[in-house]
Structure 1
Amino acid sequence: MIPWTLIDTAPLPGGGTLRLKQRGTEFSIMLGTNELMNSRLFGSEEALARLACERLAGRAQPRILIGGLGMGFTLRAALAVAPADAAITVCELVPQVVDWARGPMAEVFAGSLDDPRVRLHVGDVAPLIAQSRAAFDAILLDVDNGPEGLTVESNDRLYAPGGLGRTKAALVPGGVLAVWASAPDERFTRRLRTAGFQVEEQAVRASTKGRGARHMIWLAAA
């Protein structure tokens, strides 16, 4: 078996280090012993974009915010279904992740960052949401393994009642918040409903082949 090779590391705000590893054509991003992303398992990341964009069908000039660049699978899936007049903002907290997208993982990203519909914002997605009012038709969040701050503790504010209220204000009426997680969380479902969202839960496979672990996607209509 081909061994894993450490390609690069990236410090996280508040502590911790991301590690980019490669084995043949496969990539993995690790935080400690947790694998956050793998280039072979991206079915649920694609589903995050597909399910959210389905709810935007027929809207002219949809504005979409993606929190978390990752390995670009959510972005690529959104580009595949979004109309030509869409505007997609991708927010990535860690600058090195953007460097990886344009460097060692360029083939994985397949030029998606150069699509004219895409604007890249390097920084924290939470302030961007907080300063926005009725700015987005959809907000897609994949910045942690679930609705809590695993990668960066300050991400907790995104999933707290105040953060959900700010996200709702950043959406147009009828807009959708889509959140990816590795597992269900009934408390988060209740918080979404308390914040005034109409909530749908979707369990999706991690693999595009319909096998493997099931991940959770919340679709919350404003």
Structure 2
Amino acid sequence: MKPWIQLGTAQIPNDGGVLTLRQRDQEFSISLSGPRGELMNSRRFNSEQQLSVLGCAHLKNREHARVLVGGMGMGYTLAAALEAVPSSAEVMVADLIPEVVEWNRGPLGNCAGRPLDDARVSVHIGDVAELLTKGDARYDAVLLDVDNGPEGLTHSDNNWLYSVEGTSSIFSSLASGGVLAVWSAGPDSMYVGRLKKAGFQVKVETVRERPGKGARHTIFVARKMAARRVKKSR
């Protein structure tokens, strides 16, 4: 078996640890220093794709749809989102770590078909939370894969996204009928409760890391229902 070759490292802000990109033949791996180890692998990405499939299912025919992808990863979530939306859509991907974006422009690019080259894509280098605190109801879908989910966080700064305050801010950032889809390593009933408290209608889906096999992951699909019009009595 061929040995792993280290291609690059990146420091996560606020002492969040060090990310390392490695390659072995045509396989790529991104790992985090410490006990967490490998975060993602180019051979296991079905659940990242399903995040977009489930989160963008309502946008197939939505002209000028706006989608926010939180977390660049290896590009699979972004690529699947681009496949799910029309040519008129705008898709922004946000990542805190500039090196991860550069890896996707370079050695990782071919894994997901170089989605960053798509003219519909714009990139925000910084915390995705910066884009979710404006409350401007601009997004038709928000797809979050920035950590291990509501539990088992690898970076404490991500706590806000799953808090009551963060969940309410995301609700306000979505247009009527918009969907928040969140990738998680496992289920979390308390997070479902927070989503419902914010006003979302919630479904919980279980997906596999490979089609039909591998570890089971969770996708929270939360919809901001359109406000009902109340008929005035005469």
C-alpha separation in 2, matches of 1:219 and 1:176:
7
Residues 58 and 110 of structure 1: is their aligned pair in 2 closer, same or farther, counting only changes over 3 Å?
closer
1:13 and 1:152 in contact (8 A); partners too: no
- Letter paired with 1:41: R
Say whether 1:81 aligns with 2:84.
yes
Cα shift at 1:109: 3.8
Aligned to 2:12: 12
Q: Return the TM-score normalized by structure 2.
A: 0.91
- Letter paired with 1:221: R
| Residues 1-222 of structure 1 mapped to structure 2, 5 A cutoff | 1-15=1-15, 16-32=17-33, 33=35, 34-148=37-151, 150-208=153-211, 210-222=212-224
C-alpha separation in 2, matches of 1:4 and 1:188:
37
Cα shift at 1:36: 1.1
2:64 and 2:89 in contact (8 A); partners too: yes
Partner secondary structure for residue 180 of structure 2: strand
C-alpha separation in 2, matches of 1:185 and 1:81:
27
How big is each residue's C-alpha offset from its partner over 1:183-222, in whole Å with a ceiling of 9 and x where there is no partner?
Answer: 11111111111111100000001013x1111100000011
C-alpha separation in 2, matches of 1:91 and 1:191:
23
Q: Return the TM-score normalized by structure 1.
A: 0.96
Cα shift at 1:132: 4.1
2:62 and 2:86 in contact (8 A); partners too: no
C-alpha separation in 2, matches of 1:78 and 1:57:
10
1:42 and 1:207 in contact (8 A); partners too: yes
Cα shift at 1:139: 0.3
2:104 and 2:114 in contact (8 A); partners too: no
C-alpha separation in 2, matches of 1:98 and 1:206:
22
Structure 2 gaps of 5+ residues are 225-234
Structure 1 gaps of 5+ residues are none
C-alpha separation in 1, matches of 2:135 and 2:123:
16
Structure 1 window deviating more from structure 2 (28-37 vs 142-151): it is 142-151
Aligned-pair identity (%): 49
Partner secondary structure for residue 62 of structure 2: coil
Partner secondary structure for residue 145 of structure 1: coil
Aligned length: 221
Cα shift at 1:152: 2.1
Cα shift at 1:148: 4.3
C-alpha separation in 1, matches of 2:72 and 2:222:
21
Larger radius of gyration: 2
How big is each residue's C-alpha offset from its partner over 1:15-53, in whole Å with a ceiling of 9 and x where there is no partner?
Answer: 111111111111111112431110000000000001111
